[in-house]
Amino acid sequence: MLDPLTGISLFSGVGGFELGFERAGIRTALQVELFDASHLTDARVGEPCDARERRHRKQSCTANADKERNKLTRYGTLLRGVLERHWPDIERMNDVQNVDVAQLQLLCDERGRIGTSSIRDDSSTDYRHERRIRTEPRGHIDYRSDIDVVYGGFPCQDLSVAGGRAGLRGERSGEWFEFHRIVRVVRPPWAVIENVPGLLSSNGGWDFATILYGLAGWLPVPPNRGWKSSGVIRGIDGFYDVAWAVLDAQYFGVPQRRRRVFVVAGPRGRGVEQVLSLCESCGGHHSPSDSAREAIAGTLTSRTGVSRDNRDALNGHMIVAPALTAKRGQSGSSGPAGDEARDLIIASSITASAGHHGHSSPRGDGADNLVVDLGVRRLTPLENERLMGWPDDWTRWTADDREVSDSHRYHMTGNGVVATVAEWIGHRLVAVDAAAG
């Protein structure tokens, strides 16, 4: 029997990605998240000082930044508590910008989980704070790492259509460069990235080209009509082949319309496109047909119990079925089936904060409304967890049995990764890796 693949999780949140990969047989050796924000600069915690002063003349920029740092630290403490509850034995590090070679080597020496011989520092300059759009990739990937995959979803705020669209130049989405730095240091055979579809169009497509450049080793020019929702490019010697696809959670066993772009980088000539089940004709900038896109999700499509006409007719309205209530819901990880599925109407995407898609609760906590036979009520945190394919009460308790507030739980689900999508990718990754030998 082959040894299970081992991964490093970046921007872990509450572990939606880890949960899906774990179900697929991928073991996580390290989780990295912003647990303590006390060291962050003012620029990393909010808007520029002058912008805040214009709106809050009675409050100093320093006071605002300190308040935000404290808020992020309180939230980060809860994230750490949830992760520790579910994975008490996994090593955790604070903030990707503080993860360096010495820390990884120390982890290896103490835990023996990452082969020290595979880790090197080939950075000749301080790469972590670079925000240039066309950054030169430094060093080559030779796939000798004892870590099989580095994965995670770097912050999307600067890429989302709902955000300011500063792109990779932004302080938050610019964390991509930290992701890339750690990939270059660890040199795993595989890397998996999750983000919003806005990544494909940000900065006229050049931000996505930058990511492809860092992984494949050459800079593709964005197509005139923009990047397609799926594709493959071949890397140069010493870098990765890269495939990407926009996947919708509603085709993966959960009643939520949540579209995310997944990017998979793998060894050259090892069939990276097979991880996302892209058709043979889907090379370069070509888009697969509708039938090919639906085939990405395989037989899971039918489990939503909703016809294409019904989904289109909803036009984004936040409506879900009684099947999601505590009375009718069961495991929450695979969606309803049988007679209950006939009543199911797909939910719009869960967001971390109010006002992103027009259906958020007036209470401002990012919760959405549930329309049922007898009236309207708000989705509960437990229902949100089921929409993410997570077990019931996944975010309710920390490791020390402290109960997490509903508002924080809404935020955690809004920022999370749908576990059933991650599981599907994980199974495909394990199969392709095994087949390639």
Give the residue, 124 or 154, on which the prediction is more confident.
154
Task: For residue 425, report the phi and psi dihedrals to the nearest 5 degrees.
Answer: -65, -40
Separate counts of helices (H) and strands (E) for the chain: 12, 10
What 294-300 contacts at long range (C-beta under 8 Å, 24+ apart), as own/partner pairs, is 294/251, 296/230, 296/245, 296/247, 296/251, 297/247, 297/248, 297/251, 297/252, 297/424, 298/424, 300/251, 300/252, 300/253, 300/420, 300/424
Q: Rounded mean pLDDT of 416-421?
A: 97
Q: Rounded mean pLDDT of 391-400?
A: 97
* 144-158, 201-215, 285-299: least confident range: 285-299
- Residue 108: which pLDDT band, with cuts at 50, 70 and 90? low
Give the residue, 206 or 328, on which the prediction is more confident.
206
- Say whether pLDDT at 193 is over 70: yes
Domain segments of the chain as ranges: 6-296+417-436, 304-407
CA–CA dist 121, 254 (Å, integer): 42
CA–CA dist 199, 294 (Å, integer): 21
411 to 124, 350, 352: CA distances (angstroms): 38, 9, 4
The 3-state DSSP class for residue 158 equals coil
CATH number of 6-296+417-436: 3.40.50.150
What is the predicted pLDDT for the residue at 378?
85
CA–CA dist 383, 409 (Å, integer): 11
- Say whether pLDDT at 321 is over 50: no
What is the predicted pLDDT for the residue at 361?
38
Quick one: tokens of 69? Answer: 């740092």
CB-CB contact of 19 with 390 (8 Å)? yes
- Residue 77: which pLDDT band, with cuts at 50, 70 and 90? very high
CA–CA dist 393, 415 (Å, integer): 16
Q: What is the residue-averaged pLDDT of the chain?
A: 74
Q: Rounded mean pLDDT of 373-399?
A: 91
* 204-218, 263-277, 317-331: least confident range: 317-331
The 3-state DSSP class for residue 298 equals helix
321: closest CA among 298, 297, 347? 347
Burial of 53 (0-12, 13-18, 19+ CB in 10 A): middle
Amino acid 310 reads: N
- Residue 46: which pLDDT band, with cuts at 50, 70 and 90? low
The 3-state DSSP class for residue 323 equals helix
- Say whether pLDDT at 243 is over 90: yes
Q: Rounded mean pLDDT of 274-292?
A: 51
- Say whether pLDDT at 280 is over 60: no
Amino acid 128 reads: R
pLDDT tens by residue, 131-170: 333 344 444 445 545 789 999 999 888 887 766 678 888 8
- Say whether pLDDT at 21 is over 60: yes
Q: How many other C-beta atoms are found inside a 10 Å radius of the C-beta of residue 333?
A: 20
Hey, which residues does 149 pair with through a beta bridge? Answer: 7, 190
CB-CB contact of 379 with 356 (8 Å)? no
CB-CB contact of 270 with 256 (8 Å)? no
